[in-house]
Amino acid sequence: MFASESSPGATLNVLLRRGSEVIRITSEVEGRYPAVTPRVPSASVFERTIWEMNGIIPEGHEYLVPSIYWRKGNGHPLQKGGYFADGESKIPIPKNHVSGTGVFEIPVGPVHAGVIEPGHFRFSAAGEPILGLKVHLGYAHKGIEKLMEGPVGRNLSHLAERISGDNAVAHGLAHAHAIEGDTDIPDRARYLRSILSELERIHNHLDIVAGLCTDTAFSVAASYGAEAREELLRANYELFGSRMLMGNIVPGGVKKDLSADRIHKLENAVMRAGFAAMKLDGYMRRSPSEVDRLDTTGILVTDDALRLGTVGTVARASGIVSDVRADLPYDAYGSLSFNTIYKNKGDVMSRAAVRVGEVAESVSLILQCITDMDYGEIRTETKAPEGFSCGIVESPRGELLHCADIRDGNIWRYSVRDPSVVNWPALELAVLGNIVPDFPLINKSFGLSYCGNDL
């Protein structure tokens, strides 16, 4: 859900997906409209952002506080008239609406002890049990959507990739799909794009699972998982010139091809990563203390996951069987065979199990790509579409969208919806009833992005 200015007011755009069907709903508004959030809770953060960035008021929104700046000014950044910062003042972050004898509030962040991105968390707790949590983000805002505006012929892949660096391929690919329109991409490029996407999925999942072991002081397994991921990142650099696979996806195809020798190295690298994930999973399941920490911790029930519109591994661990690669196949995925991994329990252990299962599927997909792709061109010229265009991919975190409103050869409005945007609110529910020391563990199992959310 996002807004774009039109004459005389603005246009609200709502994209809905159910299976293989994508619907776009537009509505012309002038300054205000009846809030959708009371009926559709997953719309809350979108309406807050529309209000803050475009100045359009969702009347009846029950928690209309900033989602990005936490400042008052005399303008809104995405208005075409510009953003004027004169007289800006900070808006205080509201306290939680939880009170009672023995209830106290714990503010955490935005500056953290580790080398992680900034986010502010306000816990309401009675002793150690968590009674409430509000997550306040926006500290990593970069103005990406505004920077995207301009001539459509510019190569903005480098900017798209840096929305969230560990998901560089997914963001670059979604951007390419939005800009390519109906361009016929060479077959070899489609397979190489799929290989890059699955390599990115593997190193992200290994990072999260190893991180769970770190957060539970399971040092042997944590070290093994970190070593396996590091080996894959080094292979990425050797094969594609970047540890995080940046600089490979461009509109019209890919930049780098793979020789027969490099393909052989790729096979070895992904097979080792697949075996490492299985071994890491075995370490975790054979440790009673590790199982005790992960099992039944941070449960997100299916009804809440559906109500909040969660996506990706978070949704699939709560019993929602949804994957863009299967529902809306893109690039080579329509020609490949794979299983959608899911669990029903919705706890930390389930989210870890989904990630391990997806690593195995990613290895299989890469090997299928290697077997099926033929030699040929890896890039073609593109002609950008006119009007509304959208790219939807399955990033390691879930369903990712890049939308472009193109008018007379210029990007008039660009909108990105990282999967973390809809998964952060689910974290606020998953922690309830758990103890404060388990928050880092639950947070890690969600594997959310701060910079992808903040844009």
201-205: average pLDDT:
97
Q: What confidence score (pLDDT) does residue 63 get? A: 86
- Residue 172 pLDDT class (50, 70, 90 cuts): very high
- pTM, to two decimals: 0.94
What separation in angstroms does the CA of 163 have from each of 66, 148, 331, 350? 20, 11, 22, 28
Residue 78's pLDDT is: 83
Q: How confident is the model at residue 301 (pLDDT cuts 50, 70, 90)?
A: very high
pLDDT digits (tens, 9 = 90+) for 309-322: 999 999 999 999 99
How does DSSP classify residue 344? S
Q: Which range scores top for mean pLDDT: 112-116, 126-130, 171-175, 180-184?
A: 171-175
Contact 120, 136 (CB under 8 A): yes
- Among 92, 110, 125, residue at a domain's last position: 92
Residue 153 has pLDDT above 90, yes or no: no
Given a cut of 70, whether residue 387 has pLDDT beyond it is yes
Sort 428 into a burial class: Cβ within 10 Å, 0-12 / 13-18 / 19+: middle
What is the rounded average pLDDT of the residues 236-261? 95
Q: How far apart are CA 117 and CA 110, in angstroms?
A: 8
Q: Spell out where 142-189 has E strands.
A: 150-151
Q: What is the pLDDT of residues 348-374, one digit of tens each?
A: 999 999 999 999 999 999 999 999 999
Cβ neighbours of residue 194 closer than 8 Å, sequence gap 6 or more? 331, 332, 333, 336, 365, 366, 369
Q: What is the mean pLDDT of residues 152-174?
A: 93
Percent of the chain, pLDDT > 90? 73
Residue 123 sits in which domain range?
A: 93-136
Kindly provide the b/e burial profile for residues 365-402, where b requires at least 16 CB atoms within 10 angstroms of the residue's own CB. bbbbbbeebeeeebbeebebbeebbbbbbbbbbbbbbb
H/E element, 365: helix 348-372
Length of the chain: 455
108 and 235 share a domain? no
Beta-carbon contacts of 368 under 8 Å, excluding residues fewer than 6 positions away, are 336, 337
Identify the pLDDT of residue 46: 92
From residue 428, how far is each of 122, 290, 364, 380 by CA, in Å?
10, 23, 35, 45
State the pLDDT at residue 145: 92
Taking the C-alpha atoms of residue 48 and residue 225, their distance in angstroms, rounded to an integer, is: 39
Among 308, 223, 224, 241, which residue's Cα sits nearest to residue 42?
A: 308
Q: Where residue 357 sits, what CATH number does that domain have?
A: 1.10.645.10
- Number of structural domains the chain divides into: 3
Which distant-in-sequence residues (6+ apart) come within 8 Å of 420 by Cβ?
A: 164, 397, 448, 449, 450, 452, 453
75 & 148 share domain: no
Among 285, 395, 305, which residue's Cα sits nearest to residue 346? Answer: 305
Span 9-30, average pLDDT: 87
User: In this structure, which amino acid lies at residue 315?
Assistant: A
Average pLDDT, the chain: 91
Task: Tell whether 124 and 166 lie within a shared domain.
Answer: no
Q: Among residues of the chain, what percentage have pLDDT more than 70?
A: 96
**pLDDT at residue 383 in the model:** 87
Instruction: Tell me what the mean pLDDT of segment 64-76 comes to.
Output: 75
Mean pLDDT (whole number) for 338-342 = 96
Q: Is residue 74's pLDDT more than 70?
A: no
One domain for residues 124 and 150: no
Q: Assess whether pLDDT exceeds 80 at residue 405.
A: yes
Task: Please tell me what DSSP assigns to residue 297.
Answer: S
pLDDT of residue 86: 53
Give the mean model confidence (pLDDT) for residues 413-424.
95
In whole angstroms, give the CA distance from residue 425 to residue 155. 33
Do 109 and 209 lie in one domain? The reply is no
Strands 57-59 and 32-34: parallel
Same domain? For 149 and 117 the reply is: no
- Same domain as 277, residue 257: yes
Mean pLDDT value of segment 141-164 = 92
As a whole number of angstroms, the distance between CA 249 and CA 272 comes to: 25
The answer to whether 49 and 64 have CB atoms below 8 angstroms apart is: no
Looking at the structure, do residues 224 and 128 belong to the same domain, yes or no?
no
Which residues, in sequence order, are bridge partners of residue 387?
406
82 has pLDDT over 80: no
Q: How many CB atoms lie within 10 A of CB 149?
A: 15
Greatest alpha-carbon span in the chain: 70
For residues 363 and 321, membership in a common domain is answered with yes
Contact 386, 262 (CB under 8 A): no
Higher pLDDT: 85 or 429? It is 429
pLDDT of residue 88: 58
Spacing of C-alpha 227 from chain mean position: 24
Query: Is pLDDT of 92 > 80?
Result: no
The pLDDT assigned to 422 comes to 94
Same domain for 118 and 196 = no
Condensed to tens digits (0 to 9), the pLDDT of residues 99-122 reads: 788 899 999 888 887 778 899 999
Of the residues 105, 136, 167, which one is the last residue of a structural domain? 136
Residue 95, pLDDT score: 79
The Cα-based distances of 308 to 161, 242, 311, 418 in angstroms read: 27, 35, 9, 15
| Residue in 283, 292, 290 with CA at minimum distance from that of residue 223 | 283
In this prediction, residue 380 has a pLDDT band, given cuts at 50, 70 and 90, of very high
User: Do 329 and 345 share a domain, yes or no?
Assistant: yes
pLDDT at 40 over 70: yes
296 with 407, same domain: the answer is yes
Q: What are the CA-CA distances from residue 216 to residues 132, 211, 377 (Å)? A: 23, 9, 48
